[in-house]
Amino acid sequence: MNWIWIVLIVLIAGWIVWAFNRLVRYRNRADEGWAQIDVQLRRRYDLIPNLIATVQGYAAHEREVFERVTAARANAEAANGVAGQADAENAVSSGLRQLLAVAENYPELKANENFLALQEELTGTESKIAYARQYYNEQVRLLNTAIESFPSSILARLSHFAPREFFDIDDESRGPVDVSFQGS
Amino acid sequence: MHEQIARNKRKTFLLLFLAVAFTALIGYVIGYLWFSGPAGVVVAVILAIVLSLGSYFYGDRAVLASTHARKVTPQEEPRLHNIVEGLAIAAGIPKPDVYVVPEAAPNAFATGRDPAHSSIAVTQGLLEMMNRVELEGVIGHEMSHILDRDILIGTVVATVVGAAVLMSEIFMRSWFWGGGRGRRDSSGGDTAGAIALILFAVGIVLLIIAPLAGQLIKLSVSRNREYLADAEGVALTRYPPGLISALQKIGSSPAVMRSANNATGHLWLNQPSRVPGEDTSSMEKLFSTHPPIAERIKRLQEM
C-alpha cells in the first residue's frame, strides 16, 4: 500500500515544481516585455526633439503642434503605472500623427534626407512599441491565466504571484502612425 | 508549437545520425583501401566528427556564403533592420543578423542553429519590390522558422547535401582524370590501381546516396511546416494581407534565382526556380519542398 502514497507524493511534488517554474517563467517574460516597451518608448522620446527641430526649419509657424507634442512627451516621461503610461503614450502618438500630417504640407521638408531618415526611425520605433506591447500583453495573459486558474491559483496565492495589468491603448491610436506611404 | 520544436529536435538528431553514419562509411572505405586495417575506423571517426560539428557550428556560414549573402548595417538598410528588430521583439527572441543576397528574384530565408545564433537573409529584389507591410509579412514567416527551430534542421540538411554534392563531384571528376591517366601510363602500378578502386567505390556509394538526399530534404522540410510558418508569421504581424500580397508578388515575379541550388532550395521562402514559370522538370519535382503559392494564399485568406 505504501508505494501508492510514495508515487502520489512524488507526482504532487513534481507538479508543484513544474507549476511554480511556469509561474516564474511567465513573470520573467512579462518583466522582459515591459522592459522592452520601456526601451522603445525611450527611443521615441529621443527622436521627438530631433523631429521637431527638423520640421521647425521648414514650418516654424506651426507652433501649436510642436508645443503639444513636447508637452505630451514630458507628460509621458513622468507617467507612472501601466495604465497611466498607456494613456500618456496615446497622447504622444496622436501628437506625432498631427506633426507628420503637418509635414505633409511642406514638399521641401518631405524631400529632406534628414527628415526621411527620422521618419523611418519613427515608423520603425512605433511598430516596435506595438510589437513589444503585443509580446507583453501575451505574457501577461499567460501569467494571469495561470494565476487565476485552479489548481495553480493556490500555488500562486501561497507564493505571492500577483496578476499584471495589460498595456492597453485606445482604438483611435491602434493603427500605426501613418507616415509610411512614401519612401517605403 | 512546443510539440513542433520537439519533433524538429528529434528529426535533426536522426538526420545528423544518418549523415554521420554515411560519412563514417565513406571514411571507412577510404581508410581501409588506402592504409588497410584499422586505420579505416580512425579516418571514419575523424570525417564524421568534422562533418557533424561543422554543419552544427558553421552550417549557417556555409549557407550564407553559398548564396553570396552580405551582412548589412542598420545605416545601410534602416527599414529592413527596423522590421527584423520589431518582429524579434514580437517573438521574444534576440535580433537575428541581417543579410542581403544580390538576386533580383524576391525571396528570403533564415538560417542558424538556435534563436540566439540566427540570421535572416533577403534578396535585393525583395527589398525593392515589397512595401513595409509586405516585408513585415515575409520577415514574420522567417521569424517563425527561427522560433520553431526549423532553421537548424534546414541548415544541417543544406550543409550535408551540399557536402555530398561536392564530394560526389570531386570523386567523379578525379576518377575520370585518374582513370584517363592510368590508361596512358601503365607504370603507375599498384598505388594508382588502389586509388582508382577507392574512388570508384566511393563514387558508387555516392551514386546510390544521391537520390536519397532529395528524399531526406522532403522528410525534413514538410509542406506543413511552410503552412505553419505562414500562420505563425501572421500571428506575429497580426496582418494576413501583408503576407498574402507579398506571396502574390513573389508568385508573379518572372525573375529567376542564379545562386539557388538543390542543397539550399528548401530554406527559401519560396522554392527557387531556375526556369521561369516552369517547375515541371523531373529534377525540380524531385526536390519540390514547398506547397504551391496559390494554396498558401488561399489558406491565409481563410484565416
Q: Write the ipTM.
A: 0.80
**Does B200 lie in the same domain as B92?**
no
pTM: 0.79
Of B1, B85, B231, nearest to A131 (Cα)? B85
- How distant is the Cα of B298 from the closest Cα of chain A, in angstroms? 26
* B276 lies in some domain: yes
Contact A54, A120 (CB under 8 A): no
B116 Cα distance to chain centroid: 19
**Does B229 lie in the same domain as B138?**
yes
**Does B227 lie in the same domain as B147?**
yes
By a Cβ cutoff of 8 Å, what residues of chain A touch chain B?
Answer: 29, 32-33, 36, 40, 117, 120-121, 123-125, 127-128, 130-132, 134-135, 139, 180, 184
CATH number, domain with residue B291:
3.30.2010.10
Query: pLDDT digit of tens for each residue in chain A (184 aa)?
Result: 788 999 999 999 999 999 999 999 999 999 999 999 989 988 988 888 888 888 888 877 888 888 888 888 888 888 888 888 888 888 888 888 888 888 888 888 888 888 888 888 988 998 999 899 999 999 999 999 989 888 888 888 888 888 888 887 654 444 444 443 333 3
Give the residues across from B120 on adjacent strands. Answer: B98, B110
**Does B267 lie in the same domain as B192?**
no
Set out the domains of chain A in order of their start, with CATH numbers: 21-173 (1.20.1440.20)
**Does B264 lie in the same domain as B226?**
yes
Strands B97-101 and B70-71, by their bridges, are antiparallel
How many Cα neighbours within 13 Å face the side chain of B264? Answer: 25
Phi, psi of B112 (to 5 degrees): 130, 180
**Does B159 lie in the same domain as B294?**
no
- Mean per-residue pLDDT for B120-126? 93
- The x, y and z cell numbers of residue B130, run together, are 515589397
Per the model's pLDDT, the better-predicted residue between B77 and B202 turns out to be: B77
* B217 lies in some domain: no
* B124 lies in some domain: yes
Confidence of residue B183 (pLDDT cuts 50, 70, 90): very low
Tell me whether residues A135 and B85 touch, CB distance under 8 A.
no
Q: Is B142 a catalytic residue?
A: yes
How many Cα neighbours within 13 Å face the side chain of A31? Answer: 8
**Does B16 lie in the same domain as B118?**
no
Tell me whether residues A121 and B82 touch, CB distance under 8 A.
yes
Structural domain tally of chain B? 2
B245 touches A at CB < 8 Å: no
**Does B246 lie in the same domain as B158?**
no
Domain that holds residue B294: 64-151+222-301
**Does B250 lie in the same domain as B127?**
yes
Tell me whether residues B92 and A184 touch, CB distance under 8 A.
no
**Does B137 lie in the same domain as B234?**
yes
- A39, A131, A143, best to mutate vs chain B, most B CBs in 10 Å: A131
**Does B264 lie in the same domain as B143?**
yes
Tell me how far CA of residue A131 lies from CA of A154, A180, B88, in angstroms.
Answer: 32, 17, 9
- How distant is the Cα of B115 from the closest Cα of chain A, in angstroms? 16
